[in-house]
Structures are given as C-alpha cells and as structure tokens.
C-alpha cells in the first residue's frame, strides 16, 4: 500500500513551517494590544457586510476576546510546531494543517466578532473544521462515528443558537454585541427573554459539552492528539463558555440564569471528575477532566460577584495552560512507548526526563498546589463559591469534590506513568520525544509556574481586562495572590489536598467499583445510537407511506395537502364569497369557459391517450383565449406557445407508453374524482372571494407611472421581467437551465444500453 517514493526522511515541507509562522505572527500582533487593553480600552474594527440586514463584519478586542485570542494563537503556535513532528510523515499532513489552520482562524473570528450573525458564521465554521479534524483518520469507523456525533450534537445546538440570536437581535434592536450588552435589564425583563435564554444556552451547552450533551466530547478524542489538545481542551469547547461570558452582561442576573448555569455546571463538573477516575486510557481521563473544567467555568458564569468573575478569568487561563500541556505530554508518551494505558505505563521518568518535568509542572497546577497559578485559581473558585446566591452548600461541596478528584487525576495522569516502577516491557524502548514536541508542554507548564509566582502579570494583562468585560471596570477584579491569609478558602484547599490524596490512594478500587456499576447506569453514548436508529426507522417508515413510487400516489398526497391547507384556512377564517353578479358575463367569456370545462372533462374521462392530449390542448387554448379577451396579449402568447410545445413533448413521450386501460376493466375511480372536484370547488371559491376584495392598485400604478420615464419601456410586463424584477427573472432562468440539464441527464442515463 505504501508508495515506494515515500521515504521516511521526507519532511513536512512548507506545510510544516507556514502555519507556525501564521500563528506566531497573529500571537505577536495580538500581544501588541496588551498594554492598550490592560488600560481598559476597547479596540473596534468594522466593515459592512449586508448593511440592509444590519449584518456587519465587526470585531472587538477587549479583555475577554484578547485573552481568548492569545490562548488560541499561542497554543496554536505550539500545536503546529508539535504536529510537524507528530504527524509530519503522514501522507495527508498538508490537509491536516489546512484543517487545523482554518479552525484556528475560525475560532479567532468567533471570539473577536462583534456581530451576532458573524459570530454565528464563525461558530459554524469551527463546527465544520472540528468535524473534519475528528474524522481525520477517516479509514476508522470509530473516527467517522465520533466526527458525525460531534457534528450532529453541536450542529443541532447551533441551529437553536441561530434562532436565539435572531430573537435577541430583534429584541435588542441591534445585532452588534457591543450595543446589546449595554442594554442589561431591558433584555432580561423582555417577554422574549426565556425563549432567548433557552435557545442560546442550547447552543452553548452543546458546544461546551455540558451535561446532558457531554457525551460527544470524550468520543472526539478519536482525533489526533494535537487536535485534542487544541480544539477539545483549550479552545473550541470553550466557545460555548465564551458565548455565555460574552452575553453575561446582557442575560445574567436572573434566577433562571443563575440556577440553570449553576446546576448544569456543578453536575457536569462532579460527574465528569468521577467518570475520569474510571478511565484507563489517559487521554480519555484528560478528556473527562476537560468536561470538569467546562462545568466549573459554566457554574462560575452563573454568578455575578467580583470573586466569581475573577475566578472565571483566572481558571480559564490556568486550565488552558495545564490541559493543553498534559494533552501534548500524553501524545509524547504515546509517540515514545506506543501506549496510553494508565495500567501499563510506569518508570518513564528516567527515559523521558523533559516530558516528565512538563507533566509534573502541569499536574501540580492542575492539582492546585502552591506556588502554581492553579492554587490561586482554586482559592478564587472557593471564594466565589462562598458568595453564590443560589445554594452555597451545593456549589461549594461540588467544587470541593471536583477539585479533590482533579488532585487524584493529576496523580494518575502525570505522576504514575513517570515515577512508579516500570510495569512491563514496551514494544519499543522509550526515549525522549523530539525537542519540537516537548517544547509546547514544557513552555505551557512553566508559564503556569511563572504566573503563580508572579500573579501580577496575569492579573494586569489578562484577568483584570477580562473581568472588566463583565463588570465594566478593571478595578472590579480581585487581587491574585498566593497567600490570602487564613480564611475559609484556605481551609477548603487543605481539605481538597487531604481528600484528593485519599482518593488517589484509593483510585484503583474506585475504578473497579465504577466499572462494576457501569452497566446499571444510563449510557448516553448508546442512547445516542438508539436515537439515531429510531430516527432512521422513522424516516424509512414515513418514506414508505408517503413516497410509494407511484406517480398517482404522489399526486394524491400533493393535492390532498393543497386541499386541506386551503380549505382549512377558508373555514378557520370564515371566508365565504357572496354569489357573484352573473349579469355582466359576456357570451364570449361564457363560451370560452364552457369550452375549457368541456376539454377538462373530456381529458378526465377519455380512454384514449391521443384524445386526452388533444383535450388538454383545448383547455390550454381556452385559457389563452381568455387572456386575450381580458387584454393580456403577452401572457396569451406565452400560454399558446408553451401549450404547443407541451403537446409536442407529451406526444413524443406518451405515444410510446402502453394503453391507458386494459379492455373490460372499469375506469371509475371515485376517490380521485372527489379529490379533483373538491380542489376545483375550493380554488373557485378562493378566486371569487379574492375578486370581491377591493383591488390594491398601488403596484400597478407605480409600474404604469415609472415604466416609461425610468425604464424606457411601454410593455409593462416585459419591463417588470427584465428591469424592475431582473434578479427574480435571473433566478427563474437559472431554474429553467437546471431543469433542462437534469432532465437531459435523466433521459440519457435511464435508457442507456436498453433495447429500443
């Protein structure tokens, strides 16, 4: 299978360097905004896109979006560097890099967009690129399934989100986020608020994998490791969190906001931390801890206090640093040893000292030990949890449980593989991963330590401006410090360490107990499969009923639908035309009407095909004559010509088909006759009631007045077609061409090779 010209020395070429330069350039550019934004300013760029609909390509750089942009482009740089070695010899590496770079740009667009519609477009772009990246190993059925699952879940959420955005835009009177967040209580008191909230949260919860939509995220780990590190821990899954944060000033503060986010967040966090203990694949373990982080961020966003907002901003940065680092680290381990099984790995510290150091630094931050930024972040979480307006016990207990479990998981993921005695012989001798691969983890993990030792840097440039996005001023941010005195958060931290240590010691038994319990618990993943099976069965069932393959059946359904909607509307609205005044009917129109009716009846009852065709021709010509009587020559000419062509085409087609009836068989079909008569009656009644309305001549007058002076034409029909409504006409002729080409293709393919 392997192409002979592919040699192991073949490097990734330009595809390896270009994206690194792109990401690094963007990172530098964003970093140049740091002093401006830290001073509390907001930079705004805008171009008109669809001005008539209020849609603009407008971008805002404020604390929140700058923090996200720096994380995206910074981690992006390291991930591209890492991929260059990790996947550089893959034969579709260029494609991979293209997907990943497109994702990065879409994600940057998402966090920078100031317009709801633009934000939505970028949102969908991240969904699509995420689908392509999860399914990158598309030869595997599991990859395809996971990719499709992620696409469906987040795509369905995105549809709800679009509806929510449109409602929000109309309620607020603007699609610009910077305008919307200024309105505050005006939106939360609007009657549309509950609908907006439900729809927006549906989008945010599916994207950020909140319970009960969490199941797609662990499956998304089918993607290559750099993708997991980038999309499914540090950036894309935070899009939902970002959205909730961005709309926080406009939508938060109500009971329903607080309770929904608190409950969903805490349940997700605790549930995910417990399940992460159960996993043996370290990558899966880390995937569930990502869910825990997303839950914590969501729960923090449910609040509005200064502590909660500061904790949100700090934990956002902290988590991205240590989690991306750990994901890249486990990729290095996998690259070196060929396994990610927590039970198998051990004793790697000697062989892979740099990876072990990175893992250790990141894990200490994750466990929340001083002097890492993770410790400060955890203290702030507890301080925020103690101030919640919903239920302090619920939130604080949830945070304690989740953080203690994180402590244990940090030990499982980063201590055990390196420091316990070797468990087995590996397929290949483990050795340190190349410098390009360890650079990312070690850099990110060290940043966690630097921010912890010098919290002022993170506070001034990232946390305070982010908090200003929520609360209006950088002054509102709480100070980040390692020693905050003896207070309740400190005791909670000590309790976390103690509990976490016990949990780590017991994790083998917990894992066994959880594995034993698993069959009894609801499995969302298999419920998803059942849902898909049910959906397909429903589609097959309704297709069997409605689309039988008989043209006659299709016509019955079509006309039945028309009849029910039209007649139903008439009955519900109480429309019933008065008896028309028949004294003014001229003998000529009466004769034409009778001729047309006679043709129609003849076409229905005749047993001969050529007769039916001729009768239909009579109907068409009768209608054309009526047009002439009522002075519409253009329509009449068109009708006559089309009628002629139809007769030719139908003659060609029908004459080669078998006879309409078998001799001796009754041709009486009362159901069809009834349906036909009913449709005719309803249409007649509608026409009569339309004619009895006063005719609105505004448009007619407008075209009569402007046709000659503005469009230089006296034939109003044609002027409307080619000038006033030229865009419509263009759409119609495009349809004509498509119809002609597709019927040509159909005719060409069906008869090929068959005997004439």
Partner 1 sequence: MSSIILRAGTRYLAALLLLFSIYMLLRGHNEPGGGFIGGLIGSTGFVLYAIACGTGDARRALRLMPQNIAVAGLGIALLAGLFSVFFNDPLFTGQWLFINPDPATGDKGLPLSTILVFDIGVYLVVFGSVLTLTFAMEEEI
Q: Least Å distance between CB 629 and partner 1? A: 15
Q: Least Å distance between CB 711 and partner 1? A: 6
Q: In whole angstroms, how far apart are CA 242 and each of 61, 159, 201, 208?
A: 14, 18, 12, 9
Which C-beta is closer to partner 1: that of 590 or that of 747? 747
Contact call for residue 652 and partner 1 (CB under 8 A): yes
CA 475, CA 61: separation in Å to the nearest integer? Answer: 19
Q: Segment near partner 1 (CB under 8 A), from 43-51, 142-150, 434-442, 717-725?
A: 717-725
Which C-beta is closer to partner 1: that of 476 or that of 717? 717
Query: 390 burial class (0-12, 13-18, 19+ CB within 10 angstroms)?
Result: middle
Choice from 494, 506, 591, 747 touching partner 1 (CB under 8 A): 747
CA 352, CA 554: separation in Å to the nearest integer? Answer: 69
Contact call for residue 668 and partner 1 (CB under 8 A): no
Which C-beta is closer to partner 1: that of 399 or that of 621? 621
Q: Segment near partner 1 (CB under 8 A), from 4-12, 596-604, 684-692, 747-755?
A: 747-755
Which C-beta is closer to partner 1: that of 57 or that of 651? 651
Q: Least Å distance between CB 599 and partner 1? A: 22
Which C-beta is closer to partner 1: that of 34 or that of 721? 721
Q: Least Å distance between CB 51 and partner 1? A: 12
Which C-beta is closer to partner 1: that of 605 or that of 653? 653
Choice from 653, 673, 674, 687 touching partner 1 (CB under 8 A): 653
* 368 dihedral zone (left: phi>0; alpha: psi -120 to 50; beta): left
Contact call for residue 730 and partner 1 (CB under 8 A): yes
Which C-beta is closer to partner 1: that of 9 or that of 749? 749
Contact call for residue 741 and partner 1 (CB under 8 A): yes
Token reading at 121: 């477009």
Which C-beta is closer to partner 1: that of 688 or that of 711? 711
Token reading at 163: 């509806």
Q: Least Å distance between CB 717 and partner 1? A: 8
Q: Segment near partner 1 (CB under 8 A), from 247-255, 533-541, 687-695, 718-726?
A: 718-726
Choice from 535, 560, 645, 690 touching partner 1 (CB under 8 A): 645
DSSP assignments along 36-103, one per residue: HHHTT--EEEEEEEEGGGTEEEEEEE-HHHHHHHHHHHHHHHHHHHHHHHHTTTSTTHHHHHHHHHHH
Q: How far apart are the first and last CA of the chain?
A: 45
In the shown chain, the binding pattern of residues 602 to 641 toward partner 1, with x for contact by CB under 8 A and - for none, equals -------------------------------xx--xx--x
Q: Least Å distance between CB 613 and partner 1? A: 14
Q: Each residue of 52-72: b (16+ CB within 10 Å) or e?
A: eebbbbbbbbbbbbbbbbbbb
Choice from 648, 674, 683, 705 touching partner 1 (CB under 8 A): 648
Contact call for residue 533 and partner 1 (CB under 8 A): no
Choice from 141, 486, 551, 727 touching partner 1 (CB under 8 A): 727
Which C-beta is closer to partner 1: that of 564 or that of 629? 629
Which C-beta is closer to partner 1: that of 573 or that of 756? 756
Contact call for residue 649 and partner 1 (CB under 8 A): yes
Q: Least Å distance between CB 548 and partner 1? A: 24
CA 461, CA 481: separation in Å to the nearest integer? Answer: 15
Indicate the SS3 state at residue 341. strand
Beta bridge partners of 341: 281
CA 630, CA 585: separation in Å to the nearest integer? Answer: 12
Q: Least Å distance between CB 733 and partner 1? A: 4
CA 481, CA 457: separation in Å to the nearest integer? Answer: 11
Q: Least Å distance between CB 596 and partner 1? A: 22
Q: Least Å distance between CB 9 and partner 1? A: 49
Query: 142 burial class (0-12, 13-18, 19+ CB within 10 angstroms)?
Result: exposed
Q: Least Å distance between CB 169 and partner 1? A: 24
Residue spans of alpha helices (H) in 422-487: 435-453, 455-458, 464-471
Choice from 191, 520, 714, 753 touching partner 1 (CB under 8 A): 714
Contact call for residue 644 and partner 1 (CB under 8 A): yes
Contact call for residue 662 and partner 1 (CB under 8 A): no
Question: Which of the 8 DSSP states describes residue 233?
Answer: I
CA 439, CA 20: separation in Å to the nearest integer? Answer: 13
CA 484, CA 378: separation in Å to the nearest integer? Answer: 12
Contact call for residue 748 and partner 1 (CB under 8 A): yes
Token reading at 202: 């549906």
Choice from 335, 718, 753, 755 touching partner 1 (CB under 8 A): 718
Which C-beta is closer to partner 1: that of 635 or that of 688? 635
CA 129, CA 149: separation in Å to the nearest integer? Answer: 14
CB 421 within 8 A of CB 319: no
Which C-beta is closer to partner 1: that of 597 or that of 711? 711
CA 375, CA 490: separation in Å to the nearest integer? Answer: 10
CB 499 within 8 A of CB 367: no
- Helix-, strand-, coil-residue percentages of the chain, each rounded to 5: 75, 5, 25
Q: In whole angstroms, how far apart are CA 644 and each of 320, 637, 735?
A: 71, 11, 21
Residues at the interface with partner 1 (CB under 8 A) = 633-634, 637-638, 641-642, 644-645, 648-649, 652-653, 656, 711-715, 717-719, 721-723, 726-727, 729-730, 733-734, 736-737, 739-741, 743-744, 747-748, 750-751
């Amino acid at each position: 299978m392997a192409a002979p010209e592919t040699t192991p020395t073949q490097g990734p070429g330009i595809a390896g360097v270009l994206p690194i330069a792109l990401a690094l350039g963007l990172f530098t550019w964003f970093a140049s905004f740091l002093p401006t934004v830290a001073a509390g300013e907001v930079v705004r760029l805008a171009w008109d896109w669809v001005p008539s609909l209020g849609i603009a390509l407008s971008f805002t750089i404020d604390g929140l979006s700058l923090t996200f942009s720096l994380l995206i482009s910074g981690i992006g740089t390291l991930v591209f560097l890492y991929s260059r070695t990790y996947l550089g010899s893959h034969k579709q590496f260029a494609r991979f890099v293209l997907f990943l770079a497109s994702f990065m740009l879409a994600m940057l667009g998402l966090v920078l967009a100031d317009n709801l519609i633009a934000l939505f477009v970028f949102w969908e772009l991240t969904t699509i690129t995420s689908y392509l990246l999860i399914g990158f190993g598309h030869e595997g059925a599991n990859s395809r399934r996971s990719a499709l699952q992620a696409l469906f879940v987040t795509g369905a959420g995105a549809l709800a989100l679009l509806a929510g955005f449109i409602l929000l835009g109309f309620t607020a009177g603007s699609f610009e986020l910077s305008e919307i967040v200024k309105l505050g209580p005006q939106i939360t008191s609007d009657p549309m608020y509950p609908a907006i909230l439900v729809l927006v949260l549906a989008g945010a919860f599916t994207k950020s994998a909140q319970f009960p939509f969490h199941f797609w995220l662990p499956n998304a780990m089918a993607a290559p490791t750099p993708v997991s590190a980038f999309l499914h821990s540090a950036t894309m899954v935070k899009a939902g969190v970002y959205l909730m944060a961005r709309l926080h000033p406009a939508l938060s503060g109500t009971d329903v906001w607080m309770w929904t986010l608190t409950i969903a967040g805490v349940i997700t966090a605790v549930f995910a931390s417990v399940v992460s203990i159960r996993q043996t694949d370290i990558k899966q373990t880390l995937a569930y801890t990502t869910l825990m982080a997303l839950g914590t961020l969501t729960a923090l966003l449910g609040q509005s206090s200064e502590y909660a907002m500061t904790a949100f901003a700090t934990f956002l940065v902290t988590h991205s640093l240590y989690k991306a680092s750990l994901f890249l680290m486990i990729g290095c381990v996998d690259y070196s040893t060929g396994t990610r099984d927590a039970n198998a790995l051990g004793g790697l510290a000697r062989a892979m000292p740099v990876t072990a150091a990175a893992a250790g630094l990141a894990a200490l931050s994750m466990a929340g030990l001083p002097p890492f930024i993770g410790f400060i972040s955890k203290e702030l979480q507890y301080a925020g949890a103690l101030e919640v307006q919903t239920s302090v016990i619920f939130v604080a207990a949830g945070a304690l449980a989740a953080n203690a479990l994180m402590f244990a998981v940090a030990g499982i993921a980063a201590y055990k593989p390196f420091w316990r005695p070797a468990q087995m012989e590996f397929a290949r001798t483990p050795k340190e991963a190349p410098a390009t691969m360890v650079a990312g983890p070690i850099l990110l993990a060290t940043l966690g330590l630097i921010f912890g030792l010098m919290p002022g840097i993170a506070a001034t440039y990232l946390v305070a401006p982010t908090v200003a996005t929520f609360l209006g001023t950088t002054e509102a941010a709480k100070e980040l410090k390692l020693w905050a005195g003896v207070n309740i958060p400190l005791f909670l931290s000590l309790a976390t360490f103690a509990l976490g240590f016990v949990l780590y010691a017991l994790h083998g038994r917990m894992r066994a107990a959880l594995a034993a319990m698993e069959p009894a618990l609801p499995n969302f993943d298999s419920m998803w499969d059942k849902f898909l099976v049910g959906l397909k069965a429903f589609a097959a069932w309704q297709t069997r009923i409605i689309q039988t393959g008989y043209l006659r059946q299709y016509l019955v359904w079509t006309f039945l639908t028309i009849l029910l909607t039209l007649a139903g509307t008439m009955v519900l609205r109480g429309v019933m035309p008065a008896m028309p005044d028949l004294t003014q009917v001229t003998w000529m129109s009466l004769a034409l009407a009778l001729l047309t009716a006679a043709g129609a009846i003849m076409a229905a009852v005749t047993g001969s095909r050529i007769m039916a065709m001729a009768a239909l021709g009579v109907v068409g010509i009768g209608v054309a004559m009526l047009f002439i009587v009522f002075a519409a020559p253009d329509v009449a000419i068109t009708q006559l010509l089309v009628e002629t062509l139809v007769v030719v085409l139908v003659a060609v087609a029908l004459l080669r088909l078998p006879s309409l009836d078998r001799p001796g068989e009754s041709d009486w079909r009362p159901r069809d006759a009834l349906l036909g008569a009913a449709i005719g009656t309803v249409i007649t009644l509608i026409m009569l009631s339309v004619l009895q309305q006063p005719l609105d001549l505004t448009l007619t007058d407008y075209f009569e007045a402007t046709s000659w002076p503005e469009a230089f034409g006296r034939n109003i029909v044609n002027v409307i077609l080619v000038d006033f409504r030229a865009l419509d006409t263009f759409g119609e002729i495009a349809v004509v061409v498509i119809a002609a080409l597709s019927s040509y293709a159909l005719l060409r393919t069906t008869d090929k090779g068959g005997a004439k």
